[in-house]
Amino acid sequence: MNAWLGGFQFILNRMTGNNFNWFLHVLLFLHTEHVIRRQKEKKDKEEENEDEDEDEDLGIDIDRE
């Protein structure tokens, strides 16, 4: 995360204290949302793969006509 924030160093160096705090808060908020969304997508994909594996184990042939 520090490397990601390093990309904003030029902008952050020129800000007042209040602007810096607000900007950093917003960046962290957006980053957290992004991470949570990626984790949810990964979990959904894993659950989908587990469901497919269970269907194959039971010998169920879905959507293959």
The amino acid sitting at 48 is E
Q: Is residue 37 part of a domain?
A: yes
Largest pairwise CA distance in the chain = 65
pLDDT tens for the chain, 65 residues long, are 778 778 888 888 899 999 989 988 998 899 899 999 999 999 988 888 776 666 565 565 555 44
- Domain hosting 29: range is 2-57
Q: Is residue 42 part of a domain?
A: yes
What are the b/e assignments for 31-53, b being 16+ CB within 10 Å?
eeeeeeeeeeeeeeeeeeeeeee
Q: Is residue 64 part of a domain?
A: no
* pLDDT number for residue 41: 93
Q: Is residue 22 part of a domain?
A: yes
Q: Is residue 13 part of a domain?
A: yes
Q: Is residue 41 part of a domain?
A: yes
Q: Is residue 63 part of a domain?
A: no
Number of domains in the chain: 1
* pLDDT number for residue 18: 94
